[in-house]
Chain A
Amino acid sequence: MTVTAVTPPDATTAKSAAALVVNGVSHHFGDKKVLDNVSLAVPQGAFVVLLGLNGAGKSTLFSLVTRLYDNVSGEIVIRGFDVRRRPSQALQKLGVVFQSRTLDSDLSLLQNLKYHAALHGFRGKDATERALHALSVVGLGERAHERVRALSGGQARRVEIARSLMHRPDLLLLDEATVGLDIGSRESVVKIVRGLVETQRLGVLWATHLMDEVKAGDYVVVLHKGRVLFTGDVPSFLHTTGEQTVVAAFRTITGTNPLEEAA
């Protein structure tokens, strides 16, 4: 059931203004269709929650946005740059926190971040200053010279967020960033990212299957079995489905029980 069809954004306004525009993207692995005509947008300064159960296609969508492989149909535009046609410019505006841990545990926080700075063309003093600043943003400036191995899961996540901010992106993608973290760490990570939306006007696409991470002011995109079933804000989500909670609305719109599926 598609509750709200996504209107394709206007080429002259939406594509250049939005942090991310995904328009009519489909993707197959062999015969299996994992994304079916997916469209969504993330404006600057907006926190958009991509809600979907495991296997909904969230990670595949992230792989296409980050150009780990190309989208074969539809278009993906980051700050006006088409990912397939102008990947360098598009990827410069993008910061990513992947679902799996991607830090080098044998290296220090600073060394990890300086490596990432190099991948974006920064080196020397500039890279060090950017790394230290990004670490201070996530509250780990004092631990720059410690090895990643010494960090807790939540702290490592914060380092990954710092890493994704170093090249000053306009769009931040986070794929199940809080999975495996305790409540305190989860809150800390969410608070930092929501703070970035307000202070730096980052566009954030936050993929999760944890319904309690959705707040009243967020935009929601429901992805289920490769299809977008709803886009809009939380009040619209509840109103459209006639439910009182996000969990119930999700259950109604997808015909599944997220609590059972997550378990």
Chain B
Amino acid sequence: MNTQTIVARDTSAVAIDAGQIARSAERRLGISGYLACFYGIVWREVLRYLHQRERFFSALVRPLIWLFIFAAGFRQTLGVSIIPPYESYVLYEEFIAPGLIGMILLFNAMQSSLSMVYDRETGAMRTLLVSPFPRSFLLLSKLLGGVSVALLQVYAFLLVAWFWEIRPPTITEVKLFTMFDPQPWLASVIGSVKDPIVYSVFSIPDVMQTTVGYITVIPALLLAGLMLGSLALFMSSVIKQLENFAGVMNFVIFPMFFASSALYPLWRIREASPLLYEICRLNPFTYAVELIRFGFHGQVDTTSLLVVLGCTTVFLSAAIFAYNPSKGLIARRGGPGGSA
């Protein structure tokens, strides 16, 4: 009795129409199948988030403490001069609001990464990865699910901030321009323009001018969320154990947040420490914050846009490689959740 015998017995009992199976597979893996899969993954992320009220409140409390306590204390000691995109002096709270939104996106991304490491350790990640859809599509969908949750958190923060009278400025027109002062190596690629060059302008109807900032910032939030989420996705493949995640706080979240333009304008940092200024300009999070800051003013800083897009591409490619079943880091190590 061997395998041959078993198989031979079965052959007579079951006739397979391989073509029929293939046709059925094609139908299910068509565009509607992809849409269903994408919708399902995003829906689950949002649903899980809504079920975890503690996570919602803790995510909200962190930036609000910074806004209400830290910013209030610094208001009197730190003046913010008129730098683009601001057209007048602004309160410190108003200045750091985009940075705190960046903080929400950063923490949310890292929390997603944490949950992915946990899912990998417990094996829950397997249910996602055994889907018949391409793994890159599954990971991108999961990433967008995480970004959707982050956007919910951001708008909850903005709602509270609105009552604190931290609101987007009145916008009369949407501008696409370049003004940022990038690193020399980056400037050689995309050019360096220290004075704003406006490429195009779109007028905003009167009735929308006070609220349109909430809408114009959405693309910036999505892109910044995708960049940070991609980084977190890659990190989730690199981190071997959940315990190692504490290191992420010290070596990724805090340095990224503090060595950026989230809390202080870059010119202030340059005055204090030229070295720190250079570090801030190398930090992708700086560009994410600036993209959001300009987004609230209905403006697109193309340097930040290009840096964020470039970093997203690099991080996402690294993450997809790491989760690749034949080449990736997971395969070499025996994950996700895998053991002999």
Give me the interface of A with B, judged by CB distance under 8 Å. Answer: 4-7, 9-10, 13-14, 16-18, 21, 29-30, 34, 39-41, 43-46, 55-57, 59-60, 63, 66-70, 72, 79-81, 84, 87-94, 96, 98-102, 104, 106-107, 111, 114-123, 127, 163, 201, 219, 226, 231-233, 236
Contacts and interface: CB of A to CB of B under 8 A. Distances in A.
A99 B339 CA distance: 11
Contact of A44 (B8, B13, B326): B13
Given A98-B123, A201-B14, A7 B3 contact: yes
A92 B132 contact: yes
A91 B132 contact: yes
B258 interface: no
A102 B331 contact: no
Contacts of B122: 100-102
Contacts of A201: 14
B76 interface: no
Contacts of B319: none
- 3 closest A-B pairs by beta carbon, nearest first, are A118-B40, A121-B33, A43-B10
Contact of A94 (B16, B25, B33, B130): B130
Interface string B278-317: 0000000000000000000000000000000000000000
A119 B25 contact: no
16 contacts: A7-B2, A14-B7, A14-B11, A29-B333, A44-B14, A55-B340, A59-B338, A63-B334, A67-B325, A88-B25, A100-B122, A101-B123, A102-B122, A118-B36, A118-B37, A122-B28
B188 to A, nearest CB: 40
A119 B127 contact: yes
A68 B3 contact: no
Interface residues of B, number: 63
B48 A29 contact: no
Contacts of B22: 89
Nearest to A107: B47
Interface string B20-36: 01101100111011111
B201 to A, nearest CB: 42
Contacts of A163: 127
A4 B326 contact: no
B13 A13 contact: no
Interface of B: 1-4, 6-11, 13-14, 16, 18, 21-22, 24-25, 28-30, 32-37, 39-41, 43-44, 47-48, 51-52, 122-124, 126-134, 138, 325-326, 328, 330-340
Given A60-B340, A102-B126, A121 B133 contact: yes
A69 B325 contact: yes
Contacts of B14: 17, 44-45, 201
Nearest to B128: A119
Nearest to B38: A118
B126 A57 contact: no
A130 B165 CA distance: 50
A45 B6 CA distance: 11
